[in-house]
Amino acid sequence: MYPSRFRYEAPRSIDDAVGLLQAGDGEAKVLAGGQSLVPLLKLRFASPEMLVDINDLPGLDYHRADPDGTIRVGALCRHVDLERSALLADRQPTMAAAAPMVADPIVRNRGTLVGSLCHADPQGDWASVVTALGGHVVAQGPDGRRTIPIGEFVSGPFQNTLAYDEIAVEAVIPAPEGTPAGGYLKLERRVGDFATAGTAVAIETSGGVVTRAGIALTGVGGSTIDAVEAARVLVGRPLGAEVIAEAAALAAQAAQPKSDHRGSAKYKRHVVQTFVERILTRVGDTTERAA
């Protein structure tokens, strides 16, 4: 399979990249890890006139924490960097748990977290993680930078709200106020498969009480699902069995799964409920022991 013809540019600065996108007038596409875009080009589901390859842009391959604990992931930070990250292992359990579950190890060598958010696949793992964490995307366009909360960034299946001449330069996870806890569980038929169902749970605790909670669901709806109500019942309470069951049931209600080759809708809902319960129970056990 061969993509249709396109002009190829590999700019060396973000400004040049934005300039090229502007000149492309809506017919240009950013190429990051290429692990979603290149297959689409080959299938000719996408036939842009120009590809703006951002792999040569300097200084975007970072992920780091600001002094206040804000985590920033640059547009060229690959899945593999996050999988091996000591920073995440140390400080951000939801991201650390998700990283090894994205695609397969070879795809992870190229694919990026930011590219995954931009791709906005309802089965993408990172969009759920960033949603649960209340993160945002920083976009740069001709008029400078702006911040887009993840809930406004992903606007539907395979749709984001970037303007045609904007590049997503980084994803940002706000600094936690309490102790971050949580996890990511994903059911896949085999390694490298997209989720039959996935759940991202990110909470913060303080003095044994949940002070912030986010729960988001992968692969069980037309888009990433922010299970707001499930998360809300957790806040202000210690993580007991009762509240955990309540949150898990609400998460299952928030899911909008369809029956397909990966499983029936009923089954997927059940998986969501089980996963949310499992993550929260584990977190509950650990916080109890720590307290």
Partner 1 sequence: MALFEEIAAEPSESVPVRRVTISVNGERRTADIEPRLLLAHLLRQGLKLTGTHMGCDTTNCGACTVLFDGKPVKSCTMLAVQADGHEVTTVEGLGGASELHPVQESFSDEHGLQCGFCTPGMMLAAKALLDEVPDPTEDEVRWALSGNLCRCTGYQNIVKSVLSAAQKLQGQSPADGS
Ligand X SMILES: Cc1cc2nc3c(=O)[nH]c(=O)nc-3n(C[C@H](O)[C@H](O)[C@H](O)COP(=O)(O)OP(=O)(O)OC[C@H]3O[C@@H](n4cnc5c(N)ncnc54)[C@H](O)[C@@H]3O)c2cc1C
CA dihedral 265, 267, 273, 275 (to 10 degrees): -120
> Is position 107 an interface residue for ligand X (rule: CB under 6 A)?
yes
> Is position 112 an interface residue for ligand X (rule: CB under 6 A)?
yes
Contact of 52 with 32, CB cutoff 8 Å = no
**How far apart, in whole angstroms, are the C-alpha atoms of residue 123 and residue 127?**
9
| Shortest distance in whole angstroms from residue 179 CB to ligand X | 27
- Binds ligand X by CB under 6 A, chosen from 20, 96, 118, 150: 118
| Shortest distance in whole angstroms from residue 251 CB to ligand X | 19
The mark string for 41-80 relative to ligand X (x by CB under 6 A, - otherwise) is -------------x--------------------x-----
Q: Tell me the residue type at 257.
A: P
Report the site for ligand X in 156-195 (rule: CB under 6 A): 162, 167-168, 192, 194
**How far apart, in whole angstroms, are the C-alpha atoms of residue 125 and residue 44?**
24
Site residue total, ligand X (CB under 6 A): 32
Quick count: other Cβ atoms within 10 Å of Cβ 179?
Answer: 15
> Is position 262 an interface residue for ligand X (rule: CB under 6 A)?
no
Q: Which two tokens stand for residue 51?
A: 């590809």
Q: Which is nearer to ligand X, 9 or 121 (CB)?
A: 121
**How far apart, in whole angstroms, are the C-alpha atoms of residue 75 and residue 33?**
9
**How far apart, in whole angstroms, are the C-alpha atoms of residue 212 and residue 214?**
7
Report the site for ligand X in 81-100 (rule: CB under 6 A): none
Q: Which among 1-9, 36-44, 241-249, 281-289 is the span making contact with ligand X, rule CB under 6 A?
A: 36-44
Pick one of partner 1, ligand X, none as the site partner of residue 1 (Cβ within 5 to 8 A by kind): partner 1
Sequence-distant (6+) residues with CB within 8 A of 193 are none
> Is position 3 an interface residue for ligand X (rule: CB under 6 A)?
no
